[in-house]
Amino acid sequence: MKISINATCFNNEPSGARNRFIGIYGQLFKNFAEGEFFVFEPKDCSISEWFPHQPNVRFIQTDQLSGGSLQRYISGLFFWKRELKRIDPDIFETFIFPLVKSPSGRTILTIHDIRYIRFPEFYSKAREFVSWSVLKNALDEADHVITVSHSMKEEVLRFYPNLNISVLYNGIDADSYNTLSDEDLLRVQKMYGLEQGFLLSVGHLEKRKNYTRLLQAISILKKRGKNFFLVIIGGDGGEGSNMFEQIRTLNLSDNVMILKNLPDWEVQSLFRLCSLFVFPSVYEGFGIPILEAMAAQRPMVLSDLPVFREITENQSIYFDPNKIESIADVILKTYSSKSEQERLVDYGLKRMEAFKYHNLAQDLVKIYRQQLNSKRS
């Protein structure tokens, strides 16, 4: 089976999509011996370094940059037509908009979320219009769609019924959290001057992450005499300046630290060191930080979103992300309850089995086989 993969959207900056690709496809390349893979990488990132010693994988560098979907699409118009005709793949898998359809075989598209359509108020009218047009064209053209949760599948089907769609969860390498030494943890703790007992939240600084209400909840707790310290890990997604102004206005400069561009081992260490993980988003397609908290054996409190309840099988502790008092009350109650924290950690350890990369790679092979059979029929 010949499989071409358009991986030109990936680079070395940390992201959930990048981790998913490395984790699932690393297992796929290793264990799917009958697969012959052609992986197209961007001009500014050597993806082959992520997957050393894979004899059944050929990496092909393109002239396309990892950032900017429009330039990738324009520069790839003739490139993809030529390369896909040359390789003649059974499967062409892509993670990128606008969609490039293979002239042969089956084209599979992975969708992580439809944030621009689901919450247009967070973005410009132009972004909403372009996103809807590009998404509709992609769903029309793709032979099969993969999405990252059943909640996301239902959401896509509400906009586009009768779509040929499967679910393939995101995953996590839990073992990497167990290799961190006490010296690693102490080093990170000293590096950032952290005391024990801090809260952690992870995600780019953008509106849907709902940090505004989380900061207000920390302020409410401070006024109650509960002086929590919050660490946020995330690059600026457009809300950075507003958040820093809010921190100043709420007098939280001594209560909040924002970090970005951390290596994976530092992020993992901060998960291990925190006392409680808080995920306040109002919209997610999945929520990889939930898996990270499970792998780090940390208790968590989450927004009451369908996808979060799906991932945690209704076994976590949830708050109303639109109500500041709810966020504050749930943080305080869970932080103060050792028995609830132990229950959450024990559940997370059991739940991790569903998100092992080896199992997810096997599920992806099943999708490939189904699509190949569809082509033949």
For the chain, which ranges sit under pLDDT 50? Answer: none
Task: Note the pLDDT of residue 376.
Answer: 58
Which token pair is 282? 């109002």
For residue 98, is the peptide bond before it cis, meaning its omega torsion is within 30 degrees of 0?
A: yes
Residue 129: per-residue pLDDT: 81
Token pair for 287: 């929520």
Give span(s): CATH 3.40.50.2000, the chain. Answer: 2-171+356-376, 175-354
Residue 82 · residue 70 · CB < 8 Å: no
pLDDT at site 377:
56
How far, in Å, CA of 42 to CA of 45, rounded?
6
Strand residue runs (E) in the chain: 2-6, 36-41, 57-61, 91-94, 106-111, 144-147, 165-167, 199-202, 230-233, 256-259, 276-279, 300-303, 317-319
The rounded distance, in Å, linking the Cα atoms of 83 and 148 is: 28
Burial 258-280 (b: 16+ CB within 10 A, else e): beeebeeebbbbbbbbbbbbbbb
- Per the CB < 8 A criterion, the answer to whether 118 and 30 are in contact is no
Q: What CATH number does the domain located at 175-354 have?
A: 3.40.50.2000
What is the value of pTM for the model shown?
0.92
pLDDT at residue 367 in the model: 97
Question: Quick check: helix, strand or coil at residue 11?
Answer: coil
User: What CATH number does the domain located at 2-171+356-376 have?
Assistant: 3.40.50.2000
pLDDT computed for residue 126 by the predictor: 80
Closest CA to 92 of 135, 246, 100, 295: 100
Which residue, among 289, 297, 288, 231, has the nearest Cα to 260 in the 3D structure?
231
